Structure 1
């Protein structure tokens, strides 16, 4: 067993002022987390406005479940994302969120997710072919996983029918996030949304064009109708809120589809990239995973039906999500005064759940910075609100089962065929702007297993 630990974010040990926090956050949002947050239930401070970081599972349950309406997503989060994805499921609140959630929930039923598994298997096969073609050369598997999962989300969203330029959408959103996703001083100070943000202004034209293309694709599908196995757009078009009988209009469909395209490929790609890094980091784990995958797959790509028979592969994905959660920090804005961990929270305070710190908390995890997939051998032993890769409560990620199925299918397929090893001096750097990415890539060498 290795005694060293995989790459991690150095957390701060001294308080930072507004300008220092801004500089740090623009480089890596996680770098503003105080190290003490991995050992205390709650940390509070003021950086322009009052904030609280909450790591206590009971208090997190209060925020995400028991008092959900008192802790809506923060103004900063909404300001960053609304220009790109509107009032879609990800940022809508109250009744507007609830009816959309009810209408979209059947889209991600077990049956529908299983029906889409062959697309995941085919994408895994194509990824394996690209890796094999690279021969002995090192490749950036993080980049390939983005390509692989984007292939999946494109096919499951629009059936590859050519009516929608998914690459253009991906590039437009990625460009928007690159500019607008950087924390603005205006956001930290709580300036209202109507105050212009230069980054968002620069990327606005691409977003407007992207929305126009998406609207046209939605309307074309309304006319054409479903053909063959329903894709996500077909399922959303048919979605009806069982309580109000309301259906999504074109703008609502478009905003939710754009949300699914971004969230539905990047988070899984990140999970896979970090999982492969960790497997190369610990060859004993990789050998065990390969043995499991090979015994089940016998040379073919993994399928949806195989997922239940690949428990250790799933544990690796779970542990990667613990060490490198894609949404590594979430924030809420308190609407009314409350008490968390015996501490006063005022209306208007920013309440942060630093999931990165929660997943590495010394009171909740044994050797929290180490890579130990066996932590998840017994899921019932994991405290529910100590592990939140997909959030929890009513707003838990609607596509969690889709993402996990995809991750296990692709990871098992690749590990059954290749042995991955690290490239000396090319470790990824965990950096969060909007999601926790391996900056510099995950460069590995792959040889046939």
Structure 2
């Protein structure tokens, strides 16, 4: 597989993207390319067709057709479970939580957790997000005229949010630094998602360089257990946080409550997934705003008008329409979960193509969001394409997945991203640093390799 070479005309006025490939690779070359960046194995034809199939040791199908995606994610979801390798990759950090569980185990957890993320509960957590946005502004202002890595800044801001809304109370019984270090270590140790994982290759075949657990991960789980027990003994104080809500939660069908292990696994899921994905969304949004100053100024003017110099809050989110469109377009161009895989349990047909039991079904969200059959000027940064959301096919835009397993924290993530981005844009003008464009690379999530280095000028 060779890397697609883009002509100068094709690279003009387009934000950074992953070079896709124009002809098949052999197995060894595919493994090497995937080790560097899993998205680099996507064939260029995947952004021009609804489905691509092949065999790289095992049969696989890349699905970009909205109808077929609806079948996989909504209509026949139990026939397309998450691949075993994906579960094994995540289980050391998040156990048998909602994200990993299947069948009846997943259903009761989902019923128990769903009330936690009601609009009312998510809105009540907005002041924590606003405070984190204010602290981020102070840090950026304190950096002076030098460039700042906004990926680092946004990771810090969103970790502050998720730590506070998960274990509020000043960190009593909760070692934030320990958890943060463990998450960073896990991301590095788990490394780049292997092509073996996506193709469903048996677990006993080693993935080079991967170590999924260690002392930091063990300590993180201990810290979470201790915090849960301390909260159970103490009880809630003030506005209920996520842990309070989970401790009070019951399955409406069985009356079952989560034990400490279940609470820990789901809280760590929210921590690991919650801050990472929102930080990425914000970092890519700021990169795109610096890339297109006209869009940035329009969104900033809206933010200044709505906020009037104060921090953004939950009531402002519906009014920040342009800021929200920037977030939506960042999620389209750089979806955090840029590629996921399922394993077909039974024989089926997708897009008129035969799928056999055991086949790997790959959902390359990155290619779906840039598919020419679904999006005009697919590689361009055009937030106004979201002016009429009803005109967009529901299964052409899947930053949070869909169906019964849609990301349960989607509304939390969007509210947080809009609040923080609006606050930043109202106070700073961001400019790109020449020669320091980020490189989109998938390492569990779609990250900006090299960081997002921007200069921030106070407005």
Compute the TM-score of the two structures, normalised by the length of structure 1. Answer: 0.97
What is the deviation of 1:183? 3.3
Q: How does 1:413-428 map to 2 (within 5 A)?
A: 413-428=423-438
What is the deviation of 1:162? 2.4
Counterpart-to-counterpart distance in 1, 2:93 and 2:191: 11
What do you get for the CA RMSD once the two structures are aligned?
Answer: 1.5
Q: Who is 2:15 aligned against?
A: 6
3-state SS of paired residue (2:172): coil
The CA deviation string for residues 258-309 of structure 1, in whole angstroms up to 9 with x for no partner, is: 1100111111100000000000000000110111011111111111110011
CA contact (8 A) 2:193 2:444 kept: no
Q: Who is 1:88 aligned against?
A: 97
Q: Who is 1:242 aligned against?
A: 252
3-state SS of paired residue (2:454): strand
Label 1:196 to 1:169 Cα distance change in 2 as closer, same or farther (>3 A): farther
Q: Who is 1:178 aligned against?
A: 188
Q: Who is 2:39 aligned against?
A: 30
Equivalent in 347, 350, 363 of residue 360 of structure 2 = 350
What is the deviation of 1:194? 5.3
What is the deviation of 1:166? 2.4
CA contact (8 A) 2:92 2:213 kept: no
Label 1:185 to 1:326 Cα distance change in 2 as closer, same or farther (>3 A): closer
CA contact (8 A) 1:82 1:91 kept: yes
Q: Who is 1:50 aligned against?
A: 59
What is the deviation of 1:22? 1.4
What is the deviation of 1:14? 1.4
Q: How does 1:92-107 map to 2 (within 5 A)?
A: 92-107=101-116
Counterpart-to-counterpart distance in 2, 1:281 and 1:249: 48
Equivalent in 243, 260, 263 of residue 270 of structure 2 = 260
What is the deviation of 1:205? 2.9
What is the deviation of 1:67? 0.2
Counterpart-to-counterpart distance in 1, 2:199 and 2:43: 19
Q: Who is 2:149 aligned against?
A: 140
Q: Who is 2:420 aligned against?
A: 410
3-state SS of paired residue (1:351): strand
CA contact (8 A) 2:74 2:404 kept: yes
Q: How does 1:23-422 map to 2 (within 5 A)?
A: 23-159=32-168, 160-184=170-194, 187=197, 190-193=200-203, 199-201=209-211, 203-422=213-432
Counterpart-to-counterpart distance in 1, 2:202 and 2:44: 31
Counterpart-to-counterpart distance in 2, 1:274 and 1:90: 24
CA contact (8 A) 1:420 1:444 kept: yes
What is the deviation of 1:200? 4.9
What is the deviation of 1:42? 0.5
Label 1:198 to 1:164 Cα distance change in 2 as closer, same or farther (>3 A): farther
Compute the TM-score of the two structures, normalised by the length of structure 2. Answer: 0.95
What is the deviation of 1:189? 6.6
Counterpart-to-counterpart distance in 2, 1:60 and 1:356: 14
The CA deviation string for residues 165-221 of structure 1, in whole angstroms up to 9 with x for no partner, is: 122122212212222243347646745445665755474332222212211111111
Q: Which moved more, 1:175-184 or 1:133-142?
A: 175-184
Counterpart-to-counterpart distance in 2, 1:190 and 1:231: 38
CA contact (8 A) 1:175 1:203 kept: no
Counterpart-to-counterpart distance in 1, 2:85 and 2:282: 28
3-state SS of paired residue (1:331): strand
CA contact (8 A) 2:174 2:227 kept: yes
What is the deviation of 1:140? 0.5
What is the deviation of 1:19? 1.6
Counterpart-to-counterpart distance in 2, 1:191 and 1:55: 23
3-state SS of paired residue (1:208): helix
Q: Who is 1:436 aligned against?
A: 446
What is the deviation of 1:433? 1.3
Q: Which moved more, 1:93-102 or 1:172-181?
A: 172-181
CA contact (8 A) 2:15 2:379 kept: yes
- How many residue pairs are counted as aligned between the two chains? 448
Label 1:227 to 1:20 Cα distance change in 2 as closer, same or farther (>3 A): same
CA contact (8 A) 1:22 1:183 kept: no
What is the deviation of 1:135? 1.4
3-state SS of paired residue (2:338): coil
Residue segments in structure 1 that go unaligned for 5+ positions in a row: none
Residue segments in structure 2 that go unaligned for 5+ positions in a row: 1-10
